[in-house]
Amino acid sequence: MPIDLICLDADDTLWHNMRFFHETQDALVRMLEPFADAGIARSALEACEIRNLNLFGYGAKAFTLSMIETALELGGDEVPASVIRDILDAGKALHAHPVELFDGIEETLVALSDRARLVLVTKGDLFHQEAKLAASGLGDHFSGIEIVSDKQAATFAGIFQRNGVEPSEALMAGDSMRSDVFPALEVGAWAAYIPQPLGWSHEQRPAPADHPRFIELPSLAALVNWLDRAEAA
């Protein structure tokens, strides 16, 4: 079972991401205390995010717009301009958060690139994703970079075709069942799920039952050993 192409997610696979979104959400909840309790504010924000995906997509900019909309939805005309300014400041801070790599990621990418070509496949705002990749210093480990609006089966089919591999020769690894695992499996590739504790509920699904091309790993580093065992078998 040779794997010739490894596709890797970026946010919460190579570097921390959702931790900063949770911190920003907590800040919004505090801002909206005069208008709604914490549970209502969080539920309203998540519903607003999902409702806006087709309009704004993913990422910090879309999240900021959804925060503003949530504030207006819960507080109406009673929301002071100062709160809107504070939300915008929180969104700017989220956009500018430092890129903090997971432990051992660079060494893991070196080991993986010795075994197959690496392609980064990440979704979200083009400018922000490019900026995070540049700040990470990891770009040279990849033979290709794919920043997409969403990850669907057709997305992966196109990536595999452009890289000259059959789906059965490719593997996608990431922290999202919805975006990394199921679309890759649907098109015939392998999928490695690497869960993170702060994952967005919108991106989670029950694991596929007894799927021959699905694996769950505790870390990206564990993929190196899995590839070696699979190659030997």
What average pLDDT does range 139-157 have in this prediction? 96
In the block, tokens 């002071």 appear at 80
Beta pairing class for 144-148 and 117-123: parallel
Torsions phi, psi for 86 (to 5 deg): -65, -40
pLDDT confidence bin for 43, thresholds 50/70/90? very high
pLDDT confidence bin for 198, thresholds 50/70/90? confident
66-92 per-position pLDDT tens digit? 999 999 999 999 999 999 999 999 999
The residue among 54, 78, 95 that closes a domain is: 95
Question: What is residue 87's three-state secondary structure?
Answer: helix
The residue among 95, 110, 130 that closes a domain is: 95
Q: Rounded mean pLDDT of the chain?
A: 95
Indicate if 81 and 144 belong to the same structural domain. Answer: no
Indicate if 113 and 38 belong to the same structural domain. Answer: no
Cα(first)–Cα(last) distance of the chain, in Å? 8
- What CATH number corresponds to the domain at position 125? 3.40.50.1000
- In this model, does residue 199 exceed pLDDT 70? yes
The residue among 61, 95, 129 that closes a domain is: 95
User: Is 0.85 surpassed by the pTM of this model?
Assistant: yes
In the chain, beta strands by DSSP E: 5-8, 117-123, 144-148, 170-174, 190-193, 214-216
Q: How many domains does the chain have?
A: 2
Indicate if 160 and 65 belong to the same structural domain. Answer: no
pLDDT confidence bin for 166, thresholds 50/70/90? very high
What average pLDDT does range 36-40 have in this prediction? 96
Question: What is residue 79's three-state secondary structure?
Answer: coil
Task: Say what the pLDDT of residue 209 is.
Answer: 87
Instruction: Provide the 8-state DSSP code for 225.
Output: H
- List Cα–Cα distances, 180 to 13, 21, 78, 189, in angstroms: 11, 20, 41, 11
pLDDT confidence bin for 1, thresholds 50/70/90? low
What average pLDDT does range 95-117 have in this prediction? 96
Give residue 120's domain range: 5-16+100-232
What average pLDDT does range 172-191 have in this prediction? 97
CB 24 within 8 A of CB 91: yes
pLDDT confidence bin for 230, thresholds 50/70/90? confident
> Could you tell me the two tokens for 206?
């029950």
